[in-house]
Amino acid sequence: MAGVYISYPFCAQKCTYCNFASGVFPRDLEPGYLDALRTELRNTEWPWTPETVYLGGGTPSLIDSEALSTLLSEIPAGTWQEATMEAAPGGITPEKARAWRRAGINRVSLGVQSFNTRELARTGRKHTAEIVEREIAALRAAGIDNFNIDLIAGLPGQTLESWNHSLEWVERIQAPHVSVYMLEIDEDSRLGAEIIAFGQRYGAPDIPSDDLIADFYEIAIDRLARAGIARYEISNFARPGFESRHNLKYWRREPYLGFGADAHSFDGRWRWQNPESLEDYLCASRSKPARTPADPTAEHFFLGLRLSEGIEGDWHPFQSAIERFIEDGLLEIHGNALRLTSRGVLLSNEVFAEFVGEPVS
C-alpha cells in the first residue's frame, strides 16, 4: 500500500539550522497555495487507497483547522493506518489537537530539537521544555498518543551536560518515537553557510567538534535503548509498534505520491518532483513533472542500509565494495542480512556514496 506526502512550506520563523525548501513567506500567499494543493489532489487519478498520510514542511500545524479538514478530504478516505502532522512547539492548543484528531491526524512530529532554553534561543526557537510537556499532554488528551520528538546533535553551545538534559526530558515525557539528527553543514542553511565562511553569526564558532557530535549520537543510542526506544533507522528510534509507517516506505522503496512545492513521488518504477520553490509551484502549469527511472539496485543498497535490519538479496553488483567495507569494519553480515556496523552508521555517507551510479564488480 502507498503513502501520501503533502508539503506546506510556510513557517512562522526560519530556524538558523534549517536547509529545507521552506521559509517565512507572505501569509497572503497561503490561500492560493492551499487552493493549488486541493486542485492537485483533486486531479489525481488514485490507483490505490493511501495507507499513510504525512504533512511536512515547513510548519503544517499553522494551517487553519477548517482548511486542514477540507484539504485532507481530497484524499481517498479508506482507513489511514497513520496520518502524521509536523508541528512546531509553542502553538499547540487543546482545541487544535482535538481538531487535528477529528480531521484524521493520529500522529504528530514535534520539532523540539533541544530541551535546553539557551540552545533553542540561539537557533531562533521560542519554546521551552515545559511548553513541550504541556502540549504533549494536550495531544494525549485529544487521543493522539503517537508522537515523535526531533532532536539535533551539534547545536551551537551544546555540551554533554545539555545533551543528557534533553535525553532526560525525552525519558520523562515517555516519547514513543524519537528522531536524532546530526547537524548538517551546508550552504542551504544560514548556520551552515556561516560555518563554511568561518563567520561569527548564529553561534557558528560554538559548534561542537565532529567527535563530540558522534559522542552525542552514541549516548542517545545507549540511553534511548535503555528506555525501551530502539534504533530502527540511522536517525530514528521507537518503542515497539511505534515505528513511522510512512517513513519506512521511503527506505523500503514502497510507492508514495507527493503534493505541493518540492514534493517527491515514486510509483515503484519512476521518480518525479514538483517545482522546488513556492513561487515556481504556484506558477507551474498542472502538467505532470518529468519522470526519471528509478535505479532499483542502487536504491536497494543506499536506502535499505539505513535500516538497522539491513538488506537481503543479491549483493553481486557491488561485491568488491561490500568486501572492502566489511574488511574496514563498516559493514557486517548478520544472518542473511547485510547491515551497517556501529562505526558504519557514523560513516554512512561514505558507504552510500559507493552505491550511487553504476554498479562495480
- 256 within domain boundaries: no
* Interatomic CA distance for residues 38 and 43, integer angstroms: 9
- 41 within domain boundaries: yes
Identify whether the C-beta of residue 78 lies closer than 8 Å to the C-beta of residue 49: yes
Do 314 and 182 lie in a common domain? no
Beta strands in the chain (DSSP E): 3-8, 52-57, 82-87, 107-113, 146-153, 177-182, 230-233, 236-238, 256-259, 264-266, 270-273, 292-293, 331-334, 337-340
End-to-end CA distance of the chain: 34
Helix (H, G, I), strand (E, B) or coil at 93: coil
Do 207 and 305 lie in a common domain? no
Do 72 and 8 lie in a common domain? yes
Give Cα separations from 204 to 123, 191, 255, 280 (angstroms).
11, 6, 39, 32
Do 177 and 306 lie in a common domain? no
Do 185 and 329 lie in a common domain? no
Quote the pLDDT of residue 359: 42
Answer with the one of 196, 220, 250 that is the final residue of a domain: 250
Do 87 and 15 lie in a common domain? yes
What are the contacts of 350-353 at 24+ separation with CB within 8 A?
351/305, 351/325, 352/301, 352/302, 352/305
Do 331 and 234 lie in a common domain? no
* Interatomic CA distance for residues 258 and 107, integer angstroms: 19
Dig out the grid coordinates for 88 from the structure.
512546531
Which residue is it, cell 509551484?
281
Do 107 and 165 lie in a common domain? yes
Q: Specify the pTM.
A: 0.93
- 126 within domain boundaries: yes
- 123 within domain boundaries: yes
- 312 within domain boundaries: yes
Do 242 and 143 lie in a common domain? yes
ω into 344 cis (within 30 of 0): no
157: left (phi over 0), alpha (psi -120 to 50) or beta: left
Quote the pLDDT of residue 170: 98
Answer with the one of 250, 281, 315 that is the final residue of a domain: 250
What are the contacts of 316-320 at 24+ separation with CB within 8 A?
316/361, 317/359, 317/360, 317/361, 318/354, 318/355, 318/359, 318/360, 319/361, 320/360, 320/361
- 261 within domain boundaries: no
Query: Which amino acid, residue 56?
Result: G
CATH number of the domain within which 336 lies: 1.10.10
Residues 6+ apart with CB under 8 A from 289: 272, 273, 274, 275
Angle at 76 between CA 72 and CA 82, to 5 degrees: 65
Quote the pLDDT of residue 203: 79
Identify whether the C-beta of residue 320 lies closer than 8 Å to the C-beta of residue 327: no
Beta strands in 160-274 (DSSP E): 177-182, 230-233, 236-238, 256-259, 264-266, 270-273
- 9 within domain boundaries: yes
Do 130 and 219 lie in a common domain? yes
Answer with the one of 220, 250, 280 that is the final residue of a domain: 250
Quote the pLDDT of residue 21: 61
Quote the pLDDT of residue 24: 66
For the chain, residues with pLDDT lower than 50 are 358-361
CATH number of the domain within which 245 lies: 3.20.20.70
Question: Which domain range does residue 104 map to?
Answer: 3-250
pLDDT digits (tens, 9 = 90+) for 58-92: 899 999 999 999 999 999 976 799 999 999 999 99
Do 30 and 142 lie in a common domain? yes
Taking the CA of residue 152 as centre, how many other CA atoms within 13 Å lie in the half-sphere pointing to its CB?
Answer: 24
- 166 within domain boundaries: yes
Do 200 and 119 lie in a common domain? yes
Query: Beta strands 292-293 and 331-334: pairing type?
Result: unpaired
Number of domains, the chain: 2
